[in-house]
Amino acid sequence: MSGERFQPVKSADRTLEVLEALAASGHRRSLVDLARSLDIPKSSLHGILRTMMQRGWVEADETGTRFGLGVRALQVGAAYLETDDTVSLLAGVLDDLSQQFGETVHLGRLDGPNVVYMAKRESVHPLRLYSAIGRRLPAHATALGKVLLAERTDEAVRGLLSWPLAALTPDTITDPDALYEDLAATRERGYAIDNQENTEGLACFAVAAPLHSPAVDAVSLSIPIARLGPGLEERIAGALSRSVSQVRAARGLLSDRPPSPATAM
């Protein structure tokens, strides 16, 4: 604002840190644990948690000592998805791919060094990928993330990712040169491949949604290696490309600004 350096409001910043920490945990956390990880004095954190509990953003367990997200967080998250133009626009694409292959289909969005699941369609098979809307995964270890990283220069990717790269499985690409080589191959073929890099025994293929430049959203289809028969990769890649190309004409209906929380570089 007017060239002045912005200084976040401390109380608001701490409140958001608590929300983000609880969202990332996947389980309830104690006051001591939160205070230590967020470097917030226990007395201040206790007041923040009580205020958030009163407003429904945080809930405590029966002992009153462990805290997790409250129903208000769910309401706001659901409202975000309901009003997101891209999620609505690509819903039909996800439906079509799910009906064609009967496998798990995701819409993902780049968020800094991670990719966030924005929407999904479940596999019809008992053996399937576990995932949840809102889950965050390292972009370098997923087909969704890699196809979006490939939309950017290697220099931009270098500044975007968190180094050293985390290994989710023995097949996760963690070497920088190997990753840049993989991204180059992704650009050439037009789709990304996750070959057991995120989950052992699972392959995933993804294409970028051509709604922003560079793209911030992508669509993927995941399938167990055991069901990946001859020629199926090509069929999946072709179906993904055809599906997202159908929404290219809708690009003019969306804002030029990439949807939050994506980081476009």
- Cis-peptide into 164, omega within 30 deg: yes
Residue in 31, 125, 58, 118 with CA at minimum distance from that of residue 82: 118
What pLDDT does 44 receive? 93
Backbone dihedral angles phi then psi of residue 201, each to the nearest 5 degrees: 85, 5
132 secondary structure, DSSP code: -
User: Cβ–Cβ contacts within 10 Å for residue 62, how many?
Assistant: 6
What pLDDT does 262 receive? 43
Separation CA 176–CA 134 (nearest Å): 27
Confidence bin at 263 (pLDDT 50/70/90): very low
Separation CA 121–CA 28 (nearest Å): 27
Separation CA 45–CA 50 (nearest Å): 9
* Under 8 Å between Cβ of 220 and 143: yes
Separation CA 100–CA 141 (nearest Å): 26
Separation CA 248–CA 169 (nearest Å): 35
Separation CA 194–CA 112 (nearest Å): 19
pLDDT in tens, 214-249: 999 999 999 999 999 999 999 999 999 999 988 876
Separation CA 120–CA 220 (nearest Å): 9
What DSSP element (H or E) covers 166? none
95 secondary structure, DSSP code: H
pLDDT beyond 60 at 213: yes
What pLDDT does 257 receive? 55
pLDDT beyond 70 at 195: yes
Most confident of 79-93, 176-190, 251-265: 176-190
Query: In the beta sheet, which residues pair with residue 137?
Result: 115
pLDDT in tens, 19-66: 999 988 878 999 999 999 999 999 999 999 999 999 999 999 999 999
pLDDT in tens, 111-168: 999 999 999 999 998 877 778 888 999 999 999 999 999 999 999 999 999 999 999 9
How far is the CA of 207 from the CAs of 1, 78, 252, 263, in angstroms? 38, 25, 20, 18
Give me the helices (H) in 57-138, please. 71-82, 85-89, 91-101
172-190: average pLDDT: 98
* Under 8 Å between Cβ of 210 and 216: no
237-265: average pLDDT: 69
204-215: average pLDDT: 94
